[in-house]
Chains A and B, each alone.
Chain A
Amino acid sequence: MGRAKVFGVIALKGGVGKTTVVSNLGASLARDYGKKVLMIDANFSTPHLGLHLGLLNPKYTLHHVLNDNLSIFEAIYQHELGFHIIPGKLAPFQTAPLDLKNKLEELRDIYDVILIDSSPSLNEEMYATMAASDELLVVSSPDYPTLSSTIHAIRVADKREAKIHGIVINKAYKKKFELSKRDIEGASGSKVLSVIPENFRVLSSLSRMVPMIVNFPRQNVSLEYRRLAGLLVGEKTKRWFSKTKKVTKSKTKKKKTKKNATK
């Protein structure tokens, strides 16, 4: 176990899907790949990771860790789906950007993967995530305004010498008018790791505060999250269907042998 890799999930724009990416990747890494996962809500302006995962008004948050000297271990919540969360709190972000990084050091030996959900604002919150992460995932969508903020985010990260792992394109409708993976890679100079389709069931999952990959494990979005999760930890994609197929096959075989036996 341990020596966690820290991925920061960023975008200089709200509503693109940062929190959805964090909760689904985290859930997949924990459930499909058996990783010890910690998700951290480092977004102090719109701290919504808890609302995606059914953790409402938690008593202890990252805010208390950074500002009130609460031990970071006190702010870790165990989710019934098998991962851990440090929730956020709506509060002014007043600590130095390096504080988050330092606090995470002692957690690295406990977890395999730490995912940080970041603020969309270009301020200390964002810098804290950039400094604390080993690599960044930039969430984007295939339209010009989001491309613009993606290019901007990558530029800011470059300037602060934060490493970009790649881009995750979210809410793709697969329409001709959308920017293609190639357009986005060409314009940003970064690799597109994944294209996640638009799917209203993501919203349905949100209404139940359960990650899409748990709620609708066979949907296109869930398959893609599972693939991306495997990519992040360098493991072969866990295929949802393989197990089910095997089961049905062996069942039918058994029936035949039974029949043969009675004959």
Chain B
Amino acid sequence: MVIDRFYLSNGDSAGDLRELLSRLRVVDEECFSHHVNKKKNDFANWIKKCVKDKVLAKKIEKLKSKEKIILAIDKRINTPARVKKRIIRKIKEAILDGAS
């Protein structure tokens, strides 16, 4: 599935939640408040429409601080099960790289 990328006002972009998370960690207040303010929450919208994660979108919709949004996304994507899956994938990649 190809997701429409999210373009931040500072020129960065993200194609999935993991990318968005790393962009958010370094984004400045000016850019952040361009996307999240009294009128809108671009991140929540994008997560709902493009990532199609309604549960996370609903959570983020109400959040106004950068830290809280980062935490919510982090919690959503880095569940123990997903962390495990990612590590196993990396382990397999390393073996394929090393032994081929």
Contact = CB atoms under 8 A, between A and B. Distances in A.
A187 B88 contact: yes
Interface in A167-198: 179, 183, 186-187
B62 to A, nearest CB: 32
Given A144-B87, A183-B84, A156 B99 contact: yes
Contacts of A183: 84, 88
A187 B92 CA distance: 8
Contact of B95 (A144, A152, A179): A152
Interface residues on A, range: 10 to 19
A155 B96 CA distance: 9
Contacts of A187: 88, 91-92
B99 A148 contact: no
B86 to A, nearest CB: 11
Most buried by B among A148, A179, A186: A148
Nearest to A187: B88
A85 interface: no
Nearest to A184: B88
A151 B87 contact: no
A147 interface: yes
Contacts of B87: 144
A151 B91 contact: yes
Give the secondary structure class of A's interface: helix
Interface in A15-32: none
A148 B91 CA distance: 6
B1 interface: no
Interface in B56-100: 84, 87-88, 91-92, 94-96, 99
A152 B93 CA distance: 11
Contacts of B91: 144, 147-148, 151, 187
Contacts of A147: 88, 91
A36 B92 CA distance: 39
A155 B95 contact: yes
Interface of B: 84, 87-88, 91-92, 94-96, 99
11 contacts: A144-B87, A144-B91, A147-B88, A148-B91, A148-B94, A152-B99, A155-B95, A179-B84, A183-B84, A186-B88, A187-B92
Interface of A: 144, 147-148, 151-152, 155-156, 179, 183, 186-187
10 closest Cβ pairs, A-B complex: A148-B91, A187-B88, A152-B95, A151-B95, A155-B99, A144-B87, A151-B92, A155-B95, A144-B91, A147-B91
